[in-house]
Chain A
Amino acid sequence: MSTRVGVVVFPGTNCEHDVATALERAGAAASLVWHTEERLEGFDAVVLPGGFAHGDYLRPGAIARFSPVMGAVALFASGGGPVLGICNGFQVLTEVGLLPGALVKNRGLRFLCAPTRLRVASARSVLTGGVEPGAELQIPVNHFSGSYVCDGRTLAQLRDTDSVVLRYVENPNGSIDDIAGITNAQGNVVGLMPHPERASDHLLGSTDGLLLLRSMVAAAAGVRAA
């Protein structure tokens, strides 16, 4: 049976179908999960896709944090299940405290929609376990609030624990330390601003996103087998 991935949909999420299609291409069976669900049993991994959850009112991710499904996501993460937040999903994961730091408005105050080059900084996460550190990937970003910030102590901790998983080769948004993606201490919760699902077909100009999604699907299968 293939690996089952739940793709969480908040009101205002808009990347769920792209993510589900890319996950299936990466070998998983994806199902959409409405944000009022309070249980995530039966899934091997959970993805919070991009968009504008709850309209991004107040701050991106601020209201989504109180959606009923987030209790289940926290429980799933604490049990070691792979949880991936893409773009708005990353913002939600920081707001809910599953990942440290915050995403603020881009340096230059421009909405950015462009391919970016990323360097894999660590393979110590479910998303990057299948790629070599140092490898360069081309994956697009699409955000207004994508500039990662955290205090000095958190940044030192991220570096010391090898928790920065992806860095921009050319920093597009002012993120501290060129950070494009981070993971938690266990490596099972990952957030990134670039959209791997938008680099999942030759027609899209890159298939590098599939390398990341395949890593996560493989990690999810491993957790289920364990």
Chain B
Amino acid sequence: MRFAARVDVRLRPGIADPEGATIARALPALGFDDVREMQVGRCFRFEIDAVDEAVARQRAGALAQRLLANPVIEQSELELTALAPAGGRP
């Protein structure tokens, strides 16, 4: 099976986010004075082959933990979606 994975990486609470703070400071001048809690992170999208969803989750989670995020400063969230088989065969 093939799964679409989306890993959302953001800084842990308590770690300074100077990019988020800079954007937040610019918002009132643009008329967005109603925006709160601006945070900057990264989003990774990829596809992964696995025999089932549990294995895909385990592998993609390991990738997120070992490489995509630095657990010292970042936390990650994984979303998986099963993809339809190629060619649309039944």
Contact = CB atoms under 8 A, between A and B. Distances in A.
Nearest to B67: A62
Contacts of B70: 59, 62, 95, 102
A94 B72 CA distance: 9
Interface string A59-96: 10010001000000000000000000000000000110
Interface in A156-195: 174
A108 B15 contact: no
Interface of B: 11, 15-16, 18-19, 22, 67-68, 70, 72-73
Contacts of A59: 70
Contact of B18 (A66, A102, A105): A105
Contacts, number: 35
A37 B68 CA distance: 25
A106 B72 contact: no
Contacts of A66: 67
Interface in A79-136: 94-95, 100-102, 104-109
Nearest to A109: B18
Contact of A108 (B11, B18, B67, B68): B18
A149 B18 contact: no
Contacts of A151: 72
A109 B16 contact: no
Interface of B, secondary structure class, is: mixed
Contact of A102 (B19, B67, B68, B72): B72
Most chain A C-beta atoms within 10 Å of own C-beta, residue among B11, B19, B22, B67: B67
Interface residues of A, number: 20
A104 B16 contact: yes
Contacts of B22: 109
Most chain A C-beta atoms within 10 Å of own C-beta, residue among B16, B19, B72: B72
Given A109-B18, A174-B16, A104 B73 contact: yes
B16 A102 contact: no
Nearest to B42: A58
A207 interface: no
A193 to B, nearest CB: 16
A194 B59 CA distance: 38
B67 A104 contact: no
B57 to A, nearest CB: 22
Nearest to B73: A102
Contacts of A3: none
